[in-house]
Chain A
Amino acid sequence: MLQKIKIISIAIGIIFFLLSLLSALQYFRFQQLLFDITKSRIEVPADALKRDIERSIATGIALHTNAQVPLMLNNVIQNNPIVLSIELTNSGLREREVLWSAGTRPASSQRADQASVSNRRAPPQQSGDTPVFVQHWPIVDPLGLTVAHLAFVSDKSEALNVASKARAELLRLAATLCLVSIALLAPILFFLLGSLDKIVLAAKSVVLGSASDKTTLLNSEVCQLAQNTQDVKNLATTTTRTASPT
């Protein structure tokens, strides 16, 4: 019985591993897709703003003297509540100089900017931190030179809420399927492994010299091994009898 439980638990462990790995990968794929869609929402006003700024540069107005820019930035923030801040920074300098900005840039956006590509340590979320997306666009002059950078910082919390909702749903589905699989697999394996008990019992009776079912004996490799043991045992007993004085 204990042996059967052990074998069944290994099978259940494999199913659990399969479903856990599948759930983890499905979740990451979904999260990436969700973040891409959320970020693409920002791309629409960002592209329009970039076009407007580049058009103003093309007309000959210097970027740092263009008083229209802050109005344009504020307008985008008002129309898109997901956008937390927009910064227009000077290109070319080692220390980037902010030419124009709108909204308040959360501290967490600085960390997001500095995050390493290799993800050495999973970044700990600080309490009170606003999770953000930071996206950059280059501002190009009519000659094709990058003259500035447009940085959009947008709220990630809505996307994270949706992701956590999806994670809960995924966990529920995976747990249900895991339980269903166990409910199906355990009785099937229990039934199948029933024949293992029969084999062991038959082989045991053969080793002990009792009579055993001939069909089982012919169809089982273990029973044949037991028969071999019995044959050798008989041979040894005969040798002992012959050797001992009667």
Chain B
Amino acid sequence: MNTSVKKSVERKLATRTYFALSFIGLGAALLLTFLVLSSFKDILTPQVLLKSNVIAKSVQTTISDALKLGIPFESLVGVEDYLADVLADNPEIDFIQIKNQQGREYVKYRDTRQSAQSNQNVIKDTLTHDSLPTITVGLRKSYVNEKLSVMVGDAIVVSLVAFTVGLEIALFFVVLWIFRPLGTWVAMIEGLKTGRAQKNLSATIAGPFSELVTLTSQYFQSLTSSVKKTTPLTKGNDWYEPKAYDLRLILFLFVFSEELLRSFFPIYVKDIASMHTLIAVDIDIALPIMCYMLFAGLGTVFGGGLVERLGIRNSFKWSVVLSTIGLGGLAFATTVAEVVILRALCALGYAVATVSVQVFMTKTAKTDAERTRGLSTFVGAVTAASLSAAPIGAVIVQLFGTDAAMLFAASLAVLSWFFFNGITIPSFENSAQASAANASLGKNFSAMLKNQKISIILIGNVLSGKLMLAGLLFYLTPLLLLEFQFTQVSIGQFFMFYYVSVTLGNVLLARFVPSARATMPVMVLGALLSGVGVFSLIWFNKPEALAVAIVCLGVGQSAVLTLAPALLLKITRTDLPQVNIAHTLSLVRTVDRIGGILGAAFAAAFSLLIDYRDATVGLGIVVLTLVLVNIGLVLRSNRVK
């Protein structure tokens, strides 16, 4: 009896629960924003009126000073220009009127066309004096609304962040209470069917279906005691077979702990470097980023061998130890050298941890479909952590300071180990194969780099993209936003422009997969877009222009990060069949890290010579120069045709 259920009651229940939670959660967030805005408007309007009163006083003093010189009121020269200047400096003012005791007046409106109807939309504030002219200032009612409208954007950002984090937490409980008991149950049924040896029932089985699992287990025990077993009973075996999603929350927490620093790290290093400069402040800011990229690259390349030698559990344990020391140590660091060393530890920890998680996910997958699901679990957890960590980190910094944020990040890394400890780890089966593969790594790298097409894709797309990412997003963005007078919280939210763009770009690419012929042009376009956005800063020295640059980078990178590895794998399959997939991806990651090092180095060198805005533009020029290498690829494909 195994009828397929298209829309089962369980699925309906899950959908309804999800919608109820989303509807009420988002509804509450929107309602809170609406109520808060109207309440804040009532609080802010008197404060703006106080300012308009100060302006009125200032205008009255200026006019009275002129009158004291003996100039008659009607003959005052330049009043119109003066009032125009005041209006230009104070965007909240709609008009200013100066009236003397005889009823003569000077009036200046912000927009002369609206002067007739503007009376309904202004709050008038009149300053009278016995002997001086009366000043009336019209305050635009819409001014406070304009200022508060930013908060609606905040509500969207926060809803997105909270829902991402909420979803991860919910998924953890879904795995714990639904997937794990059901997985155990299915394994037990399979065991009953095939007459496999009795295994142990994990003590961590919980949730609504645990009762059914226990019941089946009891039956199994009674059966094995009455029936002769076909296979010997082995101890220490759990019915539940580990799955990729078991590590989702663990990976989320670990990546979250690292990404938490994203929005404030350059500002934190700048602060330390300003007090104890190692080389030059701008270079000092780049040093930890470069060191991080270098050690992360080394950790990624050699991480596989390390995991093979130490095992998944030990590798992850040592990664957590390194990351905890690195992140926690940053709270007490006082010199740039200390920061550089601690970031190297963080990078090693991060690289080895992600490699061990990837190995776990590969080992737990039995079929191609499970492998794909494992990969999407990995990407999903990393994206969710990257998306939500920067804004939350910024809030922690604003509330408690960067040191507390570092300690919080370290505690999150420890927490990830706490969850990891309860996971069953699959054993290694093909370590001999892995050792042999590691030995040929250098040979394969050199073979791939000798291939012109591969080199062009790596330099013109992968390296250039990462160069821009590290230089613009990791180095220059926080510093530029600080120059634009952004608060830490706003800087944190700004980072979402990148992650949301990447996510949306990936979704679009997954939905509309480019044809084989279009893959290369779309990838090159992505690389071009990654570098071209920063040129908006030449014409507009505004945060909006930086946002455009970041969005362009995000969209461009979504194309490059998806299509470049696909193209490289295709080329290696046809041109270099002896090179395996793992080595191709390993080369991509290595070049990616080199791009990161170069990005931070270029950003630092430019910042030393020119200001941050020009450094950003300079970075764009470097990226576009590298993207030009793609011409070689186009010429080659034309020649082939």
Contacts and interface: CB of A to CB of B under 8 A. Distances in A.
A207 B40 contact: no
B44 A37 contact: yes
Given A21-B162, A120-B268, A181-B28, A189 B17 contact: yes
Contacts, number: 259
A218 B10 CA distance: 12
A24 to B, nearest CB: 5
A187 B54 CA distance: 54
Interface stretch (A105-113, A139-147, A219-227): A219-227
Contacts of A33: 44, 147-148
Contacts of A231: 1
A131 B399 CA distance: 17
A208 B215 contact: yes
A23 interface: yes
A225 B3 contact: no
Chain B contact residues: helix, strand, loop or mixed: helix
Nearest to B57: A79
B310 interface: no
A32 B17 CA distance: 38
Interface of B: 1-3, 5, 8-11, 13, 16-17, 20-21, 24-25, 27-29, 31-33, 35-36, 39-40, 43-44, 47-48, 50-51, 54-55, 57-58, 61-62, 89-90, 147-148, 150-151, 154-155, 157-159, 161-163, 165-166, 169-170, 173, 177, 182, 185-186, 188-189, 192-193, 207-209, 211-212, 215-216, 219, 223, 226-228, 264, 267-268, 270-271, 391-392, 395, 397-404, 482, 487-490, 493
Contact of A200 (B209, B403, B404): B209
Contact of A15 (B24, B33, B209, B223): B24
Contacts of A99: none
A157 to B, nearest CB: 14
A181 B404 CA distance: 32
Interface stretch (A63-71, A84-92, A167-175): A167-175
Contacts of B35: 173, 177
Given A28-B489, A177-B31, 9 more contacts: A10-B169, A15-B24, A18-B166, A29-B489, A118-B268, A207-B215, A218-B5, A219-B9, A221-B10
Nearest to A244: B226
Nearest to B91: A40
A125 interface: no
A23 to B, nearest CB: 7
Interface string A16-48: 011101111110111011100110110011011
B616 to A, nearest CB: 19
Given A24-B399, A48-B58, A181-B24, A117 B267 contact: yes
B216 A229 contact: yes
A89 to B, nearest CB: 21
Contact of B401 (A122, A162, A218, A243): A122
A29 B398 CA distance: 11
Interface residues of A, number: 85
A161 to B, nearest CB: 11
A184 interface: yes
Interface string A115-128: 01111111000000
A204 interface: yes
Nearest to A172: B39
A235 to B, nearest CB: 8
B47 A233 contact: no
18 contacts: A3-B207, A14-B170, A15-B25, A17-B162, A17-B165, A18-B158, A26-B154, A28-B489, A40-B51, A173-B35, A177-B31, A180-B28, A192-B13, A218-B3, A220-B9, A225-B185, A225-B189, A232-B189
A200 B212 contact: yes
Given A18-B159, A166-B40, A225 B28 contact: no
Contacts of B151: 26, 29-30
A58 interface: no
A122 B40 CA distance: 25
Contacts of A226: 212
A243 B227 CA distance: 9
A24 B151 CA distance: 12
A216 interface: yes
Contacts of A235: 193
A180 B29 CA distance: 12
Contacts of B29: 18-19, 22
B51 A204 contact: no
B17 A118 contact: no
A79 B32 CA distance: 40
Contact of A122 (B188, B400, B487): B400
A228 B161 CA distance: 42
A27 to B, nearest CB: 9
Contacts of A119: 397-398, 401-402, 488
B2 A3 contact: no
A80 B56 CA distance: 13
A203 interface: yes
Contacts of A30: 36, 40, 44, 151
